[in-house]
């Protein structure tokens, strides 16, 4: 379950070309379970109307600060007080200035002044406008009050010029919203290292030994840790997945590279969660040129050597170590042996054939005291949330 489930989000859309992207943003927030109230400024209505947003949110779209009050709705007061998070996307130069100065000419800015919820701003404008000293000073004023500023990004702008000023993508803004809402979670102030994906052991410049791991489980764990307020370092093998917003990602290829990255990353960390599918062996020698089938004949023999055991080789006082065991038989028995031999605090065991490449996972939690928790098949995001809850319990002693 996303941390956005049940959250009340006030989404302010202002008058910029990027306003069309906020329709997708509203949809993504709703899909993750948030209740979204939308305020369209007068300028925003030049770019889009309320009908589509009403259909997506199943709620009224607000505009005028003079909309009638009722027994259950006190206009900007209700919108501000009942919100868990205020998002302004796109945030134009004008609305950023109004928010920084505490001006309240419309429904959005009056609701912002009536709210104690955190503020998330996604600027969108031309490059020269974004770089203007007045704009930068206003952003710094808002940051000093605790606002989070996401973007803008570089690329082609509405004018046709290239520069910085594009509104961040909706998925990025949703990630930032999750980070804000989770910052007081059970892992607040904790540093978590997560490994994810498979490794690739080169045979020659174009071939490698690898596995079918997609990294979905590790990336879900990293996101859940961020949702719980942790500072996350994600050591990742090759994958096409997007980095969870707020995670520090370190890309590696081989098991040896992963060991070096993890050894450095765990300095000062509270927890290491080793969910990566690390190759057990690597070629003893890597060919400098592509191996030719015509030179080798019908068979190819490889001389392999063992890779380092990463999680068994690291540790410091107080570091909680959690490992994954991807097995095809005797799941609990293999997990218990791994638990003992590597000095782990928890092993998350799963059937490799079922889990690899799937969006779902059925895991068994194996504990040092002999307890075994068999969980049902569920989305990997839900598995990740349960693992992070257990991490919180371990850290609490």
Residues known to be catalytic: 211
Residue 330: count of CB within 10 angstroms of its CB? 11
Query: What is the phi/psi pair of residue 337, to 5°?
Result: -65, -40
Pair 228, 246: CB distance under 8 Å: no
Instruction: Tell me the C-alpha distance between 251 and 232, whole Å.
Output: 14
Round to whole Å and give the CA distance between 154 and 165: 6
Alpha-helix runs per DSSP H in the chain: 21-31, 50-57, 75-81, 93-101, 107-113, 127-131, 133-144, 170-182, 216-227, 255-265, 293-296, 310-313, 331-342, 352-355, 380-395
Give the pair of three-digit tokens for residue 5.
Answer: 């489930």
> From CA 106, how far away is CA 65, in angstroms rounded?
6
- Give the pair of three-digit tokens for residue 182: 């989770």
């Amino acid at each position: 379950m996303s941390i956005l489930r049940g959250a009340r989000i006030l989404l302010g859309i202002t008058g910029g070309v990027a306003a069309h992207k906020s329709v997708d943003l509203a949809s993504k927030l709703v899909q993750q379970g948030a209740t979204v109230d939308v305020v369209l400024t007068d300028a925003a209505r030049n770019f889009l109307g309320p009908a589509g947003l009403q259909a997506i949110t199943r709620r009224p779209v607000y505009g005028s600060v003079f909309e009638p009050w009722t027994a259950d709705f006190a206009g900007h007061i209700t919108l501000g007080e009942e919100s868990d998070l205020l998002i302004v996307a796109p945030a134009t130069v004008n609305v950023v200035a109004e928010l920084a100065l505490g001006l309240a000419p419309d429904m959005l800015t009056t609701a912002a002044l009536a709210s104690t919820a955190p503020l998330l701003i996604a600027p969108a404008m031309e490059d020269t406008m974004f770089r203007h000293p007045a704009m930068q000073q206003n952003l710094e004023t808002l940051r000093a009050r605790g606002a989070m500023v996401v973007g803008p990004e570089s690329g082609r702008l509405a004018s046709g010029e290239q520069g910085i000023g594009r509104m961040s993508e909706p998925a990025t803004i949703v990630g930032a919203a999750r980070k804000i809402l989770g910052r007081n979670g059970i892992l607040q102030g904790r540093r978590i290292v997560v490994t994810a994906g498979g490794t690739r052991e080169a045979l020659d410049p174009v071939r490698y030994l690898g596995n079918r791991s997609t990294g979905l489980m590790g990336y879900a764990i990293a996101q859940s840790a961020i949702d719980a307020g942790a500072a996350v370092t994600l050591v990742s093998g090759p994958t096409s997945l997007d980095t969870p917003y707020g995670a520090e990602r370190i890309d590696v290829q081989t098991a040896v590279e992963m060991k070096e990255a993890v050894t450095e990353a765990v300095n000062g960390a509270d927890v290491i969660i080793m969910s990566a599918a690390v190759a057990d062996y690597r070629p003893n020698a890597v060919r400098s040129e592509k191996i030719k089938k015509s030179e080798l004949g019908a068979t190819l023999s490889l001389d392999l050597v063992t890779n380092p055991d990463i999680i068994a080789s690291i540790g410091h006082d107080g570091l909680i170590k959690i490992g994954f065991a991807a097995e095809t038989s005797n799941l609990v028995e293999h997990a218990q042996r791994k638990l003992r031999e590597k000095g782990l605090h928890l092993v998350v065991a799963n059937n490799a054939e079922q889990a690899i490449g799937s969006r779902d996972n059925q895991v068994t939690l194996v504990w040092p005291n002999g307890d075994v928790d068999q969980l049902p098949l569920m989305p990997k995001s839900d598995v990740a949330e349960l693992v992070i809850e257990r991490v919180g319990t371990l850290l609490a002693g």
